[in-house]
Amino acid sequence: MSVELQLLEEKLDRCMAALTMHFQPIVHAQGRKRFGYEALLRSGDKSLPHPGAILDAAERLERIPLLGRAVRANCAKVISEAPPERGSAYFINLHLLDLFDKQLTSPFSPLTKVAQRVVLEITERTSLEGASDVNYRVAELRELGFRIAIDDLGGGHARMGTFSPVDMDFVKLDMSLVRDVEKYPMKQRLIRSVTELCREHDTKVIGEGVETEAEAAVLVELGCDLLQGYLIARPTAPFADPL
């Protein structure tokens, strides 16, 4: 291993030793009653300055499975101790390698024990193109009680080329669609088409990254079921309450 990778590994080890999870509320679009939370990776050690840097390091060092297991164990502990009024859905991001981790479906995994309260969110970092048995794996996870969300629809990789609304329980709109949506009729038409398609299959649509009341109002009008973003609350450890 090169000196550069050795230094990177040391930084990653320090960050993983100080791993924490912050939780950001997701609320019903109508009335903004709390629905659940998204778990967001954080670390008390700043050797790697932000979550993206931690994930990049784990990818370079081929340690995504180890990082994913640490995240899921941390989340499972918080979820198992959370009272029911905190919400019925905890969204946890999955890298493609996490999706195929055998531990994810193990009956002894701490997350499996709280599967009914967990939404596994397939993230935008990795293309699913060419990944075999993705739909089979998702179906297997849903049978265990997990729900499935597709992240960042409308940006990044083309998730709907792999999944249909039948395969998922939630769709998250990409922040690029949400930002200043009140100013762009094209964005509004696209979001409305997504919400109408998803409604036919009882798939909930989440407007992510909502920062203004104007964005929230348009998303409600266009049929979004749930909202998430700084307008609602910033993530904290362990829980933030909607403003």
The CATH number given to whatever domain includes residue 29 is: 3.20.20.450
User: For 162-190, what is the mean pLDDT?
Assistant: 89
What pLDDT, on a 0 to 100 scale, did the predictor assign at position 2?
92
CA distance 35 to 69: 25
CA distance 109 to 107: 6
User: For 215-241, what is the mean pLDDT?
Assistant: 93
What pLDDT, on a 0 to 100 scale, did the predictor assign at position 157?
46
Residue 237 within any structural domain of the chain:
no
Residue 167 within any structural domain of the chain:
yes
Kindly indicate the confidence band of residue 56, based on its pLDDT and cuts at 50, 70 and 90: very high
Mean residue pLDDT across the chain: 90
- Domains held by the chain: number: 1
Close Cβ partners of 60 (under 8 Å, ≥ 6 residues apart): 5, 8
pTM for the full predicted model? 0.91
Kindly indicate the confidence band of residue 44, based on its pLDDT and cuts at 50, 70 and 90: very high
Which pair of structure tokens corresponds to residue 196?
Answer: 């109408």
Burial label for 96, CB within 10 Å (0-12, 13-18, 19+), is middle
Residue 12 within any structural domain of the chain:
no
Residue 193 within any structural domain of the chain:
yes
Residue 32 within any structural domain of the chain:
yes
What pLDDT, on a 0 to 100 scale, did the predictor assign at position 192?
96
Give Rg (Cα) of the chain.
Answer: 18
Which pair of structure tokens corresponds to residue 122?
Answer: 């397939």
Residue 9 within any structural domain of the chain:
no
Residue 54 within any structural domain of the chain:
no
Residue 61 within any structural domain of the chain:
no
* Of 81 and 123, more confident: 81
User: Which candidate, 119, 182, 111, places its Cα nearest to that of 151?
Assistant: 119
Alpha-carbon dihedral 95, 97, 103, 104, rounded to 10 degrees: 40
Kindly indicate the confidence band of residue 1, based on its pLDDT and cuts at 50, 70 and 90: confident
Chain segment 142-173, per-residue pLDDT in tens: 999 999 998 877 655 455 555 666 778 999 99
What pLDDT, on a 0 to 100 scale, did the predictor assign at position 48?
97
Which secondary structure element, helix H or strand E, spans residue 123, and what is its range? none
Q: Angle at which helices 51-60 and 3-17 pack, to 10 degrees? A: 130
Cis omega (within 30 of 0) for bond into 25: no
Task: Show the domain range for 204.
Answer: 20-42+67-227
* Of 221 and 161, more confident: 221
